[in-house]
Structure 1
C-alpha cells in the first residue's frame, strides 16, 4: 500500500489581502496537500519563515514596501534550497530574466480563472517535491562514510563534492571542486590524468569495475583510494557519481607484504647471522617504519643483541638471561606479544625507562625480535603480524646458517678423520702387507693366507670408509652421462669372471661421474660376489631405464624381504669377505645426487636396485 502524499505549507506574500484570501481558497480546492499561510509584506514574511516550517514561498513581484526579487534575495541568504515562485501580475522578459538569474524556482503570471491556480498548485507541488528530493539526496550525499564527487557527463567538470572527500584529502569544498584530475593525481609512475579519464569512463560503463588511484592530499602526501562510478540523474541532469573509498592502509599493507617477500630473498642470501639480523632490522625500519628495534640471539646461556636499528640509542638493548624480561618470555614460550603500555605489564623489563610500548616476536627457536616506542599504544595487531612475517624469513635464514655451520664442522671432522685413516691406518697396513710378503718368501702355510685375507679386508674397509667420508656430501656439479657407455666402462674395471652385462637403453642423465662410477662398480661387484644363481650358472646383470631414473638388476638368488631394509646400513654384510660398505656407498652417493634408491625383486628373481628422481636429459 503506497504512502499518503506528504502535506506542504506554502507562504503566500502579497500586499493585496483580498487576493491572498482568494489564492488560499482556490489552492485549497486544487490540492488537499497544500496549506497556505500569508504575509502582506517582506518583514512579516521573513518573520514567519523564522517561526514556521515553510516548504515553499509564493510571492508577488510588485509590492508597496519591497519587490519580490528583494524578498527572494533575503530568503536566499537564509535558505538557498527553499523553493521560491514569483507569482506576479506585472510580467516582462526583463523581470523573468532577472528572477531566473537571482535563483527563482519558477515564474508565473497571474491570470483570471481557476486554471491559473491549478497551474500554480502543480508548480508548487513539483517545486516542493524536487526540493525534498534534493534534501534527501543531500543528506545521503553528506552523511555517507565514503568520498563522493559529482561530475558533468560531457565535460568531466566537478559539479559537487561531499565533506567526507574534502576531509579525506584535506581540501575545502571550493578548492576540491576546482582541482583538475591532473592536479589531484599523486606523482606515482604509471598514473596520470589521461589514464584516470579512461578508467573513469570504464567504471561508468561497467558497474562491476573499480580501480585504485593515488590522490595527492593538500599536504603533498599520497592517499590511495578505490574508485567506482555510475551514471545517475541528479535534478534532472545526467551526472557521473564517483565513489571514492579510502583504502590507503590496505594498499600500504599489500605493498609492505610484497616488499617483505622481496626482502626475504635478500635475507636468505646473507652469509652470516649478523648480516641476516642487520638486513632484518633495515627492513623493519624502512618497510614497517619501526624506529627502534633489535634482535637478540641466544648463545652461551644469554640473549645477546646482534643488530640494533639506527634510531635506537646505543644502550637501547642489553644482554639478558633467557628467563629475563619480555624477551626471555618470548624466547621460552615461542609466542609473540604486543605490549600497549609497559606500566601495565609485569614481565616487561625495558632497557630504558623511556620505553612505553613494544612488540616481541620469536625468531624461530634461536632469537627474539623486539620493537619499542616511547609512547604507549604505538603498535597495532597488524604491526605484530607484519613483524611475524618478516622474522619468519629471518628464522629460516638463521636455521640455514646454523645447519650450514654444523655441516661445515661435520665435514671438517670427517676430513680430519679421513686424514687420520689415510695416514695412521694405511701406513701400518702397508707395512704389515710388505712384511707379510717378505715372510711368505721364507715360509708358507694356510695361516699366512688367513693373514693376507684379513689385511686385504682391512684395506678394503679403509678405502670404503675414506670414500664415504670424502664423497658423501651433496653433489654440486654434474655433467651429461650416457648410461650405456658409462656402464660398460665401469664393467670393464670390475673383476666379473663369467658374469654378463646387458644395457637395454642408452639415455643421457645428469650426474657426477666419479660418484656414479662408484655406484655402478659397487652394484656390479655386489652381484658378482653375492648373486650367483642357485644352479651355479654365471650371473647376468641388466641396466635399464625407468621413468625419471634407471635400475640395475641381476638374476641371482636375490635379497630376502627381511634383509632389504638393512642392506644399505654401513657394515651390514652376509659374508666374511665383505666390508659391509659397498651398498652403503651406493645409497650415500645416490642421496648426494638427490636421488632415491630402492631395492626390490628383479624380473628374474634376483635383486633389483631402482634409482628415481634422476634428471634424464634425453
Structure 2
C-alpha cells in the first residue's frame, strides 16, 4: 500500500473576513490534503509565516494598505521558493503580466462558484508538489559529497553546478557555469573537449559506464576525477546530470605505484650494494618526495649509511649499532615505525636535533631505510606503505648481491683449493707413481702392489675432488643433447667388461661436461658394484621419464637403509671406491636444477631417477 500524500497548509490572505472564512471552508471541502489558515492584512500574514509552517500563500490583489504584489515581494525576501498564488477579483492582462514578472507562482480570478475553488485547490496542490520537488532536488544537489553539474541535453551548456564542484576546482558558481569543457580540461596528452563529449554521450547511453578525466583547477593544476552521467527530469525538462567523484589521490597513488614498478627493474639490475642503495634513495626523493632520507646496511654489527638523499645534510645520517635507536629497533624487530613527533618518542636518536618526525622501514634482514622532516606530522601511514613497497625490491637485490658475493668468495676458495690439490697433491702423486714403476723394475715385493693400489686410490680421489671444486655451482649454458648418442659415447670411455647398455631415444637440454661426468660415474658405479648374484654381466638401461630420465641396472641394488647416504661425499661400500662418484652425480644434477633420487629398478637393481629435466622430444 502506498503512503498517503503529505498534507499541506495554505495561508489565505484577504481583507474581507467573510471571504477568507468561505475560502477556507470550500478549499478544505475540495481536498482533504489542504488545511487553511487565514489573515486579513499583510502584517498578519507575514507574522503567521514566521510562526507557522506554510506550504503555499493565496492572496488577493487589492487589499487595504498593501496590495498582493507588494506582499509577494515581502514573502520572496523571507521565503524565496514558497509558492504564491494570486487569487483576485480584479483581472486584466496588465495585472497578470505584472504578477508573472514579479515571480508569482500562479494567477487565478475569483468567481465561478464552487468550480473555481476546485480549480484553486488543484492549482495549490500542483504548486506545492512542484515546490517540494524543487526543495528535495536542491537539498540533494547541494548537500551531497560529490560534484554535480546539470547540462542542457541539446546544447551541452551548463545549467547548474553545486558548491562541492566549485570548491573542487576553485571557481565560484558564476565562473564555473560560464566555462566550457575545453576550459576545464587539463593539458594532458590524449584528453580534449571532443573526447570528453564522446565519453559523456557514452555515459548517458550506458548506465554502468564511468570514466576518469583530468580537470584543470583555477590555479592551473591538474585534478583527476571520475565521471558518470545520467538523464533526469528537472522541473519538467530533460537534463543530463553529471556526477564528479574526486579520485585525484587514488590516481596519484596509482601513478606512483606504476613508477615504482619501473624503478624496481632498475634497482634489480644494480650490480653493487652501493648502486642499489643509491638508486633506492634517489627514487624515494624524486617519486615519494622524501626530501631527506637515507639507507643503512648491516655490516659487522653496525648499521652503516650507504646512500643519503641530495636534500639531506652531509652529516644527516650516521653509523649506529644494530641495537641502537629507532634504526636498531627497526632492524631487530623487522617492523616499520611512523614517528609523528620525535619529542614524544623515547626510542629515536636522530642524527640532527632539527629532525622532528620521520619513518623507519626495515629492508628485509639487510638494513633500514629512514626518511625525516624538520616539522612534526610530516608523514602518513600511506608514506610508510609506499616506502615498504620501494624497499621490498631493494631487499631482494641486497639479498641477491650478498649471496652472489658469498658464492664468489666460496668459488674463489674452491678454486684456491683446486689449485692446491692440482699442484701440491697431483704432482707428488705423479712422482710417486713414477718412482714406483722404477722400484718394480728392481724388486717384485708383494708390498709394491698394495702401494700401487693406494697411490691409484689417492689419484682417483684427487681427480674427483677437482671435478667437484671446478664444476660445481649452477649451469650457465645448456645444449640440445641426443640421449642415445651421448650415453653411448660416455659408455666407450668406461671399462665395462661384459656389461651391456640400452638407451631410449630422446633429446634433452643439459651441460655436456657435467652430464658426461654423471653418466660415466653411474656406468662405472654399476659395473663395479652392481654385479648380479649369479655372476652374470650387469645390464644398464637409460630410459625416459615425464620431465626427466633414469639410469637403472639389474644388479644387486642398494638397500633401502643406505639410499639416503649414497650421495654423501666419502660414502663407499668397497675399499677401492673413493666415495665421491655419486656425490659428483648429485652435485652436477643440482647444478642443472634437477633432482636425483635412488629407488629400486624394475629388475631389482638400483635406479637413479632425474627429474626437472627439460625433455625436448622422446620416442613414444
Alignment partners' CA distance in 1, 2:163 and 2:340 = 34
Are positions 1:37 and 2:38 aligned together?
yes
TM-score, normalising length: structure 2? 0.92
Q: Does the 8 Å CA contact 1:17/1:40 hold for their aligned counterparts?
A: no
The 1-side partners of 2:334 and 2:419 are apart by: 43
Q: Provide the residue aligned with 1:116 in structure 2.
A: 116
Please list the CA deviations of residues 501-525 of structure 1 after superposition, one character each: whole Å capped at 9, or x if unmatched. 11122x2211111111111111111
- Per the TM alignment, residue 62 of structure 1 is displaced from its structure 2 partner at its CA by 6.4
- In structure 2, the CA distance between the partners of 1:513 and 1:95, relative to structure 1 (3 Å rule), is farther
Per the TM alignment, residue 184 of structure 1 is displaced from its structure 2 partner at its CA by: 2.7
In 2, distance between residues paired with 1:522 and 1:415?
23
Q: Partner of 2:535: helix, strand, or coil?
A: coil
Please tell me whether residue 310 in structure 1 is matched to residue 310 in structure 2: yes
Q: Which runs of 5+ in 2 are unaligned?
A: none
1:333-352 residue pairs with structure 2 within 5 A?
333-352=333-352
| Unaligned runs of at least 5 residues, structure 1 | none
CA contact (8 A) 2:426 2:462 kept: yes
SS in structure 2 opposite 1:558? coil
- Where in structure 2 are the equivalents of 1:230-241 lying within 5 Å? 230-241=230-241
Against the structure 1 CA distance between its residues 499 and 514, is the aligned structure 2 distance closer, same or farther, given a 3 Å change threshold? same
* 1:10 alignment partner in structure 2: 11
1:169 paired with 2:183, answer: no
Partner of 2:527: 528
Distance, in Å, in 1 between the alignment partners of 2:121 and 2:593 is 92
- Taking structure 1 as the reference length, the TM-score comes to 0.92
Whether the 8 Å CA contact 2:355–2:375 is kept in 1: the answer is yes
What is the CA RMSD across the aligned residues, in angstroms?
2.6
Residue 396 of structure 1, CA deviation: 1.2
Query: How far apart are residue 10 of structure 1 and its match?
Result: 2.2
Aligned partner of 2:615 in structure 1 is: 616
**Do the aligned partners of 2:280 and 2:394 also contact (CA within 8 Å) in 1?**
yes
* Cα separation, 2, equivalents of 1:376 and 1:111: 77
Per-residue CA deviation, residues 146-205 of structure 1 (Å, 9 max, x unaligned), is 222223344433322222222222221222233333333333344343443444344444
How many correspondences in the alignment?
615
2:572 matches 1:573: yes
* 3-state SS in 1 of match to 2:243: strand
Q: In structure 2, what is the equivalent of residue 144 of structure 1?
A: 144
Distance 2:354 2:280 in 1: 24
Q: Give the SS at the match of 2:168.
A: helix
Q: Deviations over 1:91-111 (max 9, x none)?
A: 555665565455332232343
Structure 2 distance, partners of 1:97, 1:608, is: 110
- Contact 1:9/1:35 (<8 A) preserved: yes
Aligned pairs for 1:460-471 (under 5 A) are 460-471=460-471
Q: CA deviation at 1:54?
A: 4.0
Return 439-448 or 107-116, whichever deviates more: 107-116
Q: Post-superposition shift, 1:17?
A: 7.0
Give 2:441's aligned residue.
441
Cα deviation, residue 16, structure 1: 6.8
1:187 corresponds to: 187
Give matches, 1:205-224, under 5 Å: 205-224=205-224
Report the alpha carbon displacement of residue 327 of structure 1 after superposing the two structures with TM: 1.0
Q: Distance in 1 between matches of 2:24 and 2:529?
A: 124
Deviation at 1:604, TM superposition (A): 1.0
Matches within 5 A, 1:454-533: 454-505=454-505, 507-533=506-532
Cα distance in 1 for residues equivalent to 2:591 and 2:98:
96
Cα separation, 2, equivalents of 1:353 and 1:150: 55
Q: Is the 8 A contact 2:7 2:35 kept in 1?
A: no
What is the CA–CA distance in structure 2 between the aligned matches of 1:125 and 1:356, rounded to whole Å? Answer: 66
Give the conservation status (yes or no) of the 8 Å contact 1:9–1:53: no
Mapped partners of 2:25, 2:437: distance in 1:
146
CA contact (8 A) 2:20 2:38 kept: no
Higher mean alpha-carbon deviation, 252-261 vs 273-282, is at: 252-261
In structure 2, the partner of 1:328 is 328
Tell me the equivalent position of 2:358. 358
More deviation in 330-339 or 212-221?
212-221
